Amino acid sequence: MNEHSIARSLTLRIARDLVPGSPAALKLMSWAETHADWLLGATKPPKVKTGKSAKLKPDTAQKDECTRMLKRLESAESPDAPRPRVLDLTDELGRLLNLEAFDAHLLTLMIACDRLPRVADMLDGVVEHIRDFPALLGELAGAEPLDAARRVRGSEVMKLGVVGFGRRRFDDPIDIQWPLCRVLDREPEAEALAEALAGRRQTSTLNMADFAHVADADFLVRLLQGAVRERAHGVNILIHGPPGSGKTELARTLAAAAGCALHGIGEADDDGEEPNRRDRVLALMLAQRMLGDRSGAVLLFDEMEDLIGGTQRTTGDWFTQREGSKVFVNRLLETNAAPVIWVTNAVGNIDDAILRRMSFILKLDLAPRRAAHGILTRVAADEGVQPGEAMTHLIDRAPETASVLRVAVRAGRLAGEDDGGAQAATSLVRALRGGEIPSHGFDAIDLSLYEADRPLEPLFDSIRTLGALDVSLLLTGPPGTGKTALAHHLARALDKPLLVRRASDLLSKWVGETEQNIAGAFEDARRQDSVLLFDEADSLLFDRTRARTSWEVGQVNEMLTWLDRHPLPVVAATNHKDQLDPASLRRFVFKLDLAPLGPEKLERAFVRFFGMAAPAGLFGLRNLTPGDFAVVARQLRHAPAPDAQAILARLTDESRVKPDTGVRIGF
């Protein structure tokens, strides 16, 4: 089909449905007369009266003129003119969709009616007078007249939904849907049509090493490879997790590792058009039809919420605000020819019927520290910059940094900054957290400086080596003995972020809110895959025999319940061990009592902090802690001391302001 053959066949067929001499018939003939040179390829026929002088009732002369024009049109030859590009695209589309001849011809006719200006002009003011326009196009596509309407209704073109007919009198006769409309607007090359319709091919900027913390990543790669190799239908992978955890990038990396092309489904095009639910579902169906069994492709449906809408779980198996048909979605998941990776932030609003149809569901948390540093190295190399120390420290303080590394490093490069993007990353992380970023925390510590009731280095080495994460530590001892620093050290040893919750963060004056805050702290730690530190734990785990109200008992019970079942490391620190509830002690796997430094540790700490031999008078100070040495070291930055004796005097001052170690801690 070319433009001329389409226009000629439509004109001849429409003329049969119009009453001769009617306004619609006169309009059609007027259009034909206007385009006579192109239509007939010869001298223009006599003009058909269409103005006020034309009679509204059938006129013999007018009918004769119309008959002569139609006779000439029947034998008219197509002019030698370039074929419109939209028709070439339509032919390629029919091939990609594997359409039968009737469906391919129907699709061509429908697109021509909308996209070819001369054909669209012909239909204007005429099509509403046609008794059954879909059946008319069905006839022209090759169906028998009596069967044309049924063939059109049951055609693959109608089932796919990429193009349809206007339903109301004032609608356009042809309605082209978003996925096809945006392609026709852009008119890509034929070889790029599949990608333009199915979705832009996604490329990965990371590799599997960047997701070494995802234990199931290798299984998912093998699952994709097996699905493509065996052309298995109904393979669906759901990746969920908090914003910024790298879900989309993981999907790209998995597909690349499996050797599959990944196409993003129903995303905004180059012109920024925004698809709705129907558009995205239609794009998914088109991609399945085109790529399906034949190409070894994987499809990515990011933001799965667009498929299920604002669904909310209620009591029992009921969901409210569901969009679309539940049966349709279920069958979509069961029959998809190409594997689909679905991405969403949370699964709480997803129907169990959908979850049961997934081949695998992966919870992805924020990248751990080691993985984040690996991503930073790669991103910095891509941008041609040197990652700064500030960015390294930011990763250690806020795990959300991993999710903004690429945009932040690029922003830093464009701004000509030499901090590797730390300033931009800080602004982004602060917004993501909804508050300030924790202070830098503690540098690497020397466990040999700790005075504890058991050797710390073998214990921490064992925890790190065994990888058993359901470990809990209770750290007790006077201020300055390094309890908080020890929690930071454990987090670094396990390559996990440290989530700190103080009593002031959790305690509330409202009944029940403290318990909610406690539960939220454990849930945040689980979601972020972090080590959880409760500072000032005696305010949360105090002896229940001293409680004055029932809600005080409730908050202790809440803490104890969560300590029993939390699967990740928990550290509780307190200066007042004697104020803890007795039942809380058995909840901790290890109870470490930290004490002031003895003579051996005092000498080692002096050398470690000040780089010189310890003076003899140091060993008479029996209540110093690593924290006191750190305080004096900071003093020396502002007020240097000339020798070891001057430093000893500073330490002696710190010792005098502390209670004697012989006095019971907490009194």
Task: Count other Cβ atoms within 10 Å, centred on residue 330.
Answer: 15
- pLDDT above 70 as % of the chain: 90
Strand order in the sheet with 261-264: 201-202, 261-264, 297-301, 340-344, 236-240, 360-363
> What pLDDT shows up at residue 190?
64
Comparing 599 with 437, the larger pLDDT belongs to: 599
pLDDT at 227 over 90: yes
> What pLDDT shows up at residue 664?
36
Q: What three-state secondary structure class fits 176?
A: strand
pLDDT at 517 over 60: yes
Distances in Å between the Cα of 349 and the Cα atoms of 309, 313, 314 are 9, 6, 10
Average model confidence (pLDDT) for the chain?
Answer: 84
> What pLDDT shows up at residue 319?
47
pLDDT at 26 over 70: yes
CB 584 within 8 A of CB 578: no
User: Which value, in Å, is the radius of gyration of the alpha carbons in the chain?
Assistant: 37
Average pLDDT over residues 598-617: 91
Average pLDDT over residues 347-355: 85
CB 320 within 8 A of CB 312: yes
pLDDT at 533 over 60: yes
Alpha helices, DSSP H only, in 176-276?
A: 178-186, 193-198, 217-230, 247-257
Structure tokens at 458: 């073998």
What's 42-92 look like in SS3? CCCCCCCCCCCCCCCCCCHHHHHHHHHHHHHHHCCCCCCCCCCHHHHHHHH
> What pLDDT shows up at residue 61?
65
> What pLDDT shows up at residue 480?
86
pTM: 0.67
> What pLDDT shows up at residue 268?
61
> What pLDDT shows up at residue 43?
47
> What pLDDT shows up at residue 147?
93
Q: How confident is the model at residue 314 (pLDDT cuts 50, 70, 90)?
A: very low
Give the largest CA-CA distance in the chain: 130
> What pLDDT shows up at residue 465?
86
> What pLDDT shows up at residue 321?
52
Average pLDDT over residues 89-98: 88
CB 255 within 8 A of CB 217: no
Beta bridge partners of residue 531, listed in sequence order: 498
CB 665 within 8 A of CB 576: yes
pLDDT at 378 over 70: yes
CB 471 within 8 A of CB 491: no
Structure tokens at 82: 């370039």
CB 621 within 8 A of CB 602: yes
Pairing of strands 236-240, 360-363: parallel
pLDDT at 627 over 80: yes
Beta bridge partners of residue 175, listed in sequence order: 164
Average pLDDT over residues 518-538: 87
Long-range contact list for 60-66, CB < 8 A, 24+ apart? 62/20, 62/21, 62/26, 63/20, 63/21, 65/29, 66/15, 66/20, 66/25, 66/29
* pLDDT tens by residue, 95-136: 888 899 999 999 999 999 999 999 999 888 788 888 899 999
Comparing 58 with 629, the larger pLDDT belongs to: 629
> What pLDDT shows up at residue 186?
76
Q: What three-state secondary structure class fits 236?
A: strand
Q: How confident is the model at residue 292 (pLDDT cuts 50, 70, 90)?
A: confident
> What pLDDT shows up at residue 55?
46
- Name every residue whose Cβ is closer than 8 Å to that of residue 268 and which is 6 or more positions away in sequence: 274, 275
Type of residue found at 33? E
pLDDT at 269 over 70: no
Type of residue found at 613? A
> What pLDDT shows up at residue 143?
94
Rounded CA separation 424/432 (Å): 13
Picking from 433, 428, 387, the residue whose alpha carbon sits closest to that of residue 407 is 428
Of 63-72, 532-541, 617-626, 644-653, the poorest mean pLDDT is in 63-72
Comparing 173 with 308, the larger pLDDT belongs to: 173
Q: Quickly list DSSP for 588-612.
A: -SEEEEEE---HHHHHHHHHHHHSS
Long-range contact list for 162-170, CB < 8 A, 24+ apart? 162/282, 162/286, 163/107, 163/110, 163/111, 163/114, 165/133, 165/134, 169/128
Structure tokens at 397: 């303080």
Task: Count other Cβ atoms within 10 Å, centred on residue 65.
Answer: 18
DSSP 642: S
